[in-house]
Structure formats: C-alpha cells, structure tokens
Structure 1
C-alpha cells in the first residue's frame, strides 16, 4: 500500500462509506470516491486510481445488490440480461476510450444531466408510482440496448453518473419505481464493474491493500444505503437523485472551466 498518512486513510475510509451509501440509493458514488482517491494517492498513475476504485466499487455494489435481492421486487433474470449487455458495452467503450477527449464529452453530459434534473423536477410523479400498462417485449429490448449496451458503453468510455443514468433509464423504459430501478441497476453495475476490474487486474493497476480496506467501508455504506432506500421509498430516492444530479453537474462544470 502507498505511504499514506493515518488522517488521509481515515478520510478515504469515510469517503468510501459515503460513496457506497450514495451509490446504493441512486448511483453516482464514484463522484465522491474517485476525487478522494486522486487526493489521497497523488503520486499514483490515473490507471491505478481507476483500478482501485473498481475493486472497491464491485464489493459495495455486490453487497447492495444482495440486500435488494432479498427485499425488493426485482426481476433477476431481466437484470442479468441487461447486465450482460452492459458488460459487452463497457468493454467496447473502454476500447475506444483512448481516442476520445473527455473535454468534448463533459459539456454534452452536463446538458443531458440538466435536462434530467428539469424532467424530474417538473414531473413529480416520475418514479414514485408504477405507470399503467404492461412492459412489452419492445421495451425490454430497448432496455437491453439502451440501459445495457448504451450505458455500458458510456461507462467504459467516460463513466461519471452511470448508476444515475441507469436508474433513470430503467424507470422510464420498464415502468419501474425508483427503488426497483435502483435495485436492478446494482445488478447491472456488478456486471460492468466485474469486467472492468478483470481488465485492470490483468494490467496490474490495482492497489489491492488499499482497495481491500476501502471496500470494507464501501460495503457497509452500500448495505446501509440499500436498506435506507427500501425503508424510505421512491420519494426519498427521488430527492437523493436530484441532489446527485446537481452535484454531478457542478463537478463536471468545475473540471471543465475552473480546474
């Protein structure tokens, strides 16, 4: 493990727990943990930060997924189908990532996020109740293509806010309430994180000792977040969703024009 002060280790552990809680409720935990790792391990190459983050995240998302599976009305077969498509998409996105500038993508993502925030604000019923009508085969295929391949490709190519986008896409396409969408998103995240971690591990760019310590706290935060979402319901998740979206827009804007 890199030479890190005790104060910074404690800070990273707290950040990992908070990131796990946020990620389990609505996605976007990497928004907190990645900057914390960059600050806590300043001498490490970015690939080591990304690899370590994935090693931490897969533990937390797995814990949250198990918690949701035990108590949420989740269609596991459908979640795995979307997850396998997302895994393929993330590998394809990672293949093209080296040739794409994040400076080009950030403004586009900010516009999309602002549109998402406006939609959620002006549609108070979104994700709080299951709309009428059956989920057709076309909607399932659209979810596999967009929430699976599309979001997986985005995760491999760029990344920030993937969990949040997944929750929104699943809620809109499959008529899921936000709690069920969050539960399904965790299963999909396990698939994408597993594929990414395998690649980072193969390349030897994971700080395993640090990842192991942070993963414990991330797991605690994730399981607590899943229980909170199940207890509080979709209205609570909607509030956290808006908070995360606004925070992500602010982070991207800072990176684009200030940092």
Structure 2
C-alpha cells in the first residue's frame, strides 16, 4: 500500500513539475518520511524520476511542436552550462546558507507573478532575440542556481522565459523540462558514482513521475486552457512553498494533530 501511495504522489509531482515546478517537495517527503531514506540518498534517488519525467515531457512537447530547439537553443545551452558549473560547485561548497535566501526570493517571485497576470496568460509566444549581454548572464545564472540548489529553479526559469524572453507559459515549460532533463542526467550520474541512489525505489517513483510528466505535457501542448491552468498551479505552488519555507505548514500540522 505504501508503494502505491508513493507512485501516486510521484505522478502528482511529475504533473506539477511539468506545469510549474517544486514538485520535489512531494517526492522528497515521500522518500524520507514514508520510505525512510537518508536525506542524501533521497536527494540522489529523487533525481532519477526528475530526469525521466523531464525527458518524457520534452518528447511530448517536441512531438506537438511546442519545443522549438532552434529558437530556444541558446537559452538551453547557456542554462545547461551554468548548471554543470553549479553541480560542480555544489560538490565542493555547502548551499545551506543560500537556501535561507531562497524563501525571500519566493516572496518576491509571488508578487512578480500576481502583478499584471496578463503577461503570464498570453496565448502566443512573441519571442525576441535577446542581446547577449542580457541572455548570457541571465541564463547562466539560472543554470548555476539549478545545478547548485535546484529548489525552485523551475519557477525562476519560467519567470525569465515569460517576462524577459517573451515566451508564453506553455512554451516556457517546454524549454524548462528540456533543460532540466539535460543537466539532471549529469546529476544522476554523479549521485550514482557516489552510491547515493536507491535504484529500486528510484525506479518505482520514476514510473509515476514519468507518467505524470508525459501526460501533463501532452495536455499542455494541445489544450487551449493549459496556459491558465499552468498559471493557477504556479501561484498555488509558490504560495505553498513560501508557507512551507517559513514553517507555517509544519506549525499548522502540529496544531491540527
């Protein structure tokens, strides 16, 4: 029964990751609290499902012509390079201090999302070729953050694609899952090399995450309501992440029980 719950939770996380981000809050809780994995092993094991869901989502977006590699190639390449650097630095330096800053960045991001929602709900991608002095630092920094911390990277990447590069939210998600698939493969190899992946549990969770990522990507690529749903889920995910990071959800749970 516990494994069925884990697969269902992984499916939900895969769907959330595809349309918004931060679904790892669900899978990491399952891996540590329900399945009893140590934190570092849970972190490595979780990357297996993130890779498979991102690869499956990328394929679904690509087949429906929502992932244009030629138009988005520079952003994908820059973010991937930054992520490789971030992964390397994460092996050498603790990122705990930077995680403290993350919760305040989320509060700022919530205001950015809620102000002028029409920017997030545009139906057409009005992408423009950004000058290198903007695209290089922005997407290298995003990639570095994703490789170094990962937490919340999807939310910040969507903001850059929508507000800076002028993509619509669905096409932004297509680029996001492609980037995450590439650099997460490297992360999986590194965690596997260090013996920090439980392949049995990781494979089980990956089944749910892959199904959630693929089916959600197909929905997002074909349904005209997908942009509105992606925006709603993004708002809910960011609010929930803020409450969680500031300990409100834990306090409410203790009060309830």
Shared fold by TM > 0.5?
yes
Q: Given the superposition, is the C-alpha separation of residues 95 and 124 from structure 1 closer, same or farther in structure 2, using an over 3 Å criterion? A: same
Match of 1:166 among 135, 144, 157: 157
Secondary structure in 1 aligned to 2:201?
helix
RMSD: 2.5
Q: Which residue of 2 aligns with 1:180?
A: 171
Q: Does the CA contact (< 8 Å) of 1:54 and 1:197 recur in 2?
A: yes
Q: Answer yes or no: is 1:225 the counterpart of 2:216.
A: yes
Distance 1:146 1:115 in 2: 17
Q: Note the alpha carbon deviations across 1:98-126, whole angstroms, 9 max, x for none.
A: 53352x33342222211221122121212
Q: Given the superposition, is the C-alpha separation of residues 200 and 133 from structure 1 closer, same or farther in structure 2, using an over 3 Å criterion? A: closer
Q: Answer yes or no: is 1:27 the counterpart of 2:18.
A: no
Q: Which residue of 2 aligns with 1:53?
A: 46
Q: Which runs of 4+ in 1 moved over 4 A?
A: 130-134, 255-259
Distance 2:10 2:136 in 1: 30
Secondary structure in 2 aligned to 1:204?
coil
Q: Note the alpha carbon deviations across 1:159-211, whole angstroms, 9 max, x for none.
A: 21111211111111211010110111111111121111111122222111211
Q: Does the CA contact (< 8 Å) of 1:31 and 1:161 recur in 2?
A: no
Secondary structure in 1 aligned to 2:235?
helix
Write the mapping of 1:89-238 to structure 2, written as runs, cut at 5 A: 89-97=82-90, 98-102=92-96, 104-129=97-122, 135-138=128-131, 142-147=134-139, 149-230=140-221, 231=223, 232-238=225-231
Q: Does the CA contact (< 8 Å) of 1:130 and 1:175 recur in 2?
A: no
Q: Identify the range of structure 1 (221-230 vs 59-68) with the bigger mean alpha-carbon deviation.
A: 221-230
Q: Does the CA contact (< 8 Å) of 1:79 and 1:187 recur in 2?
A: no
Distance 1:91 1:118 in 2: 30
TM-score scaled to structure 2, two decimals? 0.86
Distance 2:239 2:23 in 1: 14
Alignment gaps of 5+ in structure 1: 1-6
Q: Which residue of 2 aligns with 1:12?
A: 6
Q: Which residue of 2 aligns with 1:244?
A: 237
Q: Does the CA contact (< 8 Å) of 1:28 and 1:160 recur in 2?
A: yes
Distance 1:204 1:181 in 2: 34
Distance 2:176 2:9 in 1: 21
Secondary structure in 2 aligned to 1:73?
coil
Match of 1:37 among 16, 31, 43: 31
Report the number of matched residues.
249
Q: Identify the range of structure 1 (19-28 vs 153-162) with the bigger mean alpha-carbon deviation.
A: 153-162
Secondary structure in 2 aligned to 1:125?
helix
Distance 2:72 2:40 in 1: 29
